[in-house]
Amino acid sequence: MIERLGAITALDAPSGDAEALAAPAALLVSWLEELGARVSVAATTAGPLIDAELGAGAGRPGAAGVESPALILCHYDTVWPTGTASARPFAVREGIATGPGVLDMRGGILACLGAVAALDELGVARAPVRMLLTPDEETGSEASRGAIAAAAGDAALALVPEPALPGGGLKTSRKGWLLVRLTARGVAAHAGLEPERGASAVDELLAALAAVEALRDPERGTTVNVGLLRAPNPANVVADLAEATVDVRVADGEAEERVRTALAALRGRDPRAALEVEELHSRPPLVRTEASAAAAARARRLARSLGLGELGEGHAGGVSDANLAALGGAPVLDGLGPVGGGAHAEDEWVDLDSLVERTALIALLLTTDVEKE
């Protein structure tokens, strides 16, 4: 596994760069085929999307099958541009591996592949597994979201090997995310000679932003952050264009609905001006349901049986593809990847002991029936 972690980390995998992603995709496909998977690769605008059917495995002769199909949801892109793999090559020292993407989420991918390989080599009955490896998670999963939601709809359980919480805990809830652009269009005029002929796009935008900021409800987890303001006219011209990008985070579907309704109701004040609200990206909140709590409890029991101690569970502020898997309705366990640190940072590292532990845990999660417990 360490050798393979080194091999994949030696390849650059910048999100959405179809040309650069071809090499890591080909390597992953070869590993999946070695496991006996039926692999199809879709050429999306963001790069190759890998969809692997791993069937139900060999199983021990006479062993009862595990029927609940499991989805393993991975992304193989990293936040790092081409050239990073050679500038900051993979290294192992004292049980710690470093290099671009070792934690997010190459270690997690290796743990999942290792779990399936181990079970099949041992002839242990396991769930039918479908593994999806996407090329654009780090930039919003626009090209993959349909495939993710559809695959999650067919699964009884979705496993996502994003990095664990500090200390190894699973992530059973994540906030939802809305990234919107507000564009105000007005009428340009000379700010000194005849300002009354103008309708200021900046004034319209500021009023709209005040309304958007009023949606903040930190106690319920709704946060609003305004970034990237743009109004290109000089100050002596009544602006005919102004825009802002707004990042909204919500804890549950009700808050998401409230925000969407309010955004849809935004209107310009001056009849000569127009206000446009455009959704750039969104991911629904990953809510801890009864089913996902039960799946987490099962993972805790299995971790205990492996001697891994008490497996924690918690909330993550950021989004992942687990948010999209939640659309499918199956319970989602995220944060199943190994323990490490420095995701999206130059000092990214992964603990190799934990890589083995997570492999064992993922393997056990695939050997018992979700629905029969």
Interface positions with Zn ion (CB under 5 A): 104-105, 162
To the nearest 10°, report the CA torsion of 74, 79, 80, 85. Answer: -20
79 vs 189 by CB, closer to Zn ion: 79
CB-based closest residue to Zn ion: 104
44 vs 233 by CB, closer to Zn ion: 44
CA distances from 345 to 3, 15, 69, 104 (A): 23, 16, 35, 10
Q: What whole-number distance in Å separates Cα of residue 32 and Cα of residue 48?
A: 15
74 vs 129 by CB, closer to Zn ion: 74
Provide, rounded to whole angstroms, the least separation between the CB of residue 143 and Zn ion.
16
72 vs 209 by CB, closer to Zn ion: 72
69 vs 161 by CB, closer to Zn ion: 161
124 vs 151 by CB, closer to Zn ion: 151
Provide, rounded to whole angstroms, the least separation between the CB of residue 44 and Zn ion.
18
104 vs 252 by CB, closer to Zn ion: 104
138 vs 313 by CB, closer to Zn ion: 138
| Strand, helix or coil for residue 170 | strand
Provide, rounded to whole angstroms, the least separation between the CB of residue 140 and Zn ion.
12
Provide, rounded to whole angstroms, the least separation between the CB of residue 320 and Zn ion.
6
DSSP secondary structure code for residue 16 in this structure: T
Task: Tell me the β-bridge partners of 61.
Answer: none
Which residue spans within 142-284 are E strands per DSSP? 157-160, 170-174, 176-185, 189-190, 223-230, 237-238, 241-250, 274-283
Phi, psi values for residue 179, rounded to 5°: -115, 115
Provide, rounded to whole angstroms, the least separation between the CB of residue 345 and Zn ion.
13
Q: What whole-number distance in Å separates Cα of residue 275 and Cα of residue 218?
A: 27
| Neighbouring residues of 159: CB distance < 8 A, sequence distance ≥ 6 | 70, 71, 72, 73, 112, 332, 333, 336, 362, 365
| Neighbouring residues of 83: CB distance < 8 A, sequence distance ≥ 6 | 12
| Strand, helix or coil for residue 324 | helix
Provide, rounded to whole angstroms, the least separation between the CB of residue 348 and Zn ion.
11
Provide, rounded to whole angstroms, the least separation between the CB of residue 104 and Zn ion.
4
In DSSP notation, 32-95 reads HHHTT-EEEEEEETTEEEEEEE-TT----TTPPP--S-EEEEEE--BSPPTTHHHHS--EEETT
104 vs 240 by CB, closer to Zn ion: 104
Give, rounded to a whole angstrom, the gap between the first and last alpha carbons of the chain. Answer: 31
Structure tokens at 269: 């004040």
Provide, rounded to whole angstroms, the least separation between the CB of residue 329 and Zn ion.
22
Provide, rounded to whole angstroms, the least separation between the CB of residue 258 and Zn ion.
29
With contact defined as beta carbons under 8 Å apart, do 40 and 138 qualify?
no
103 vs 360 by CB, closer to Zn ion: 103
Half-sphere exposure of 157 (CA within 13 A, CB side): 32
Provide, rounded to whole angstroms, the least separation between the CB of residue 162 and Zn ion.
5
Phi, psi values for residue 145, rounded to 5°: -60, -35
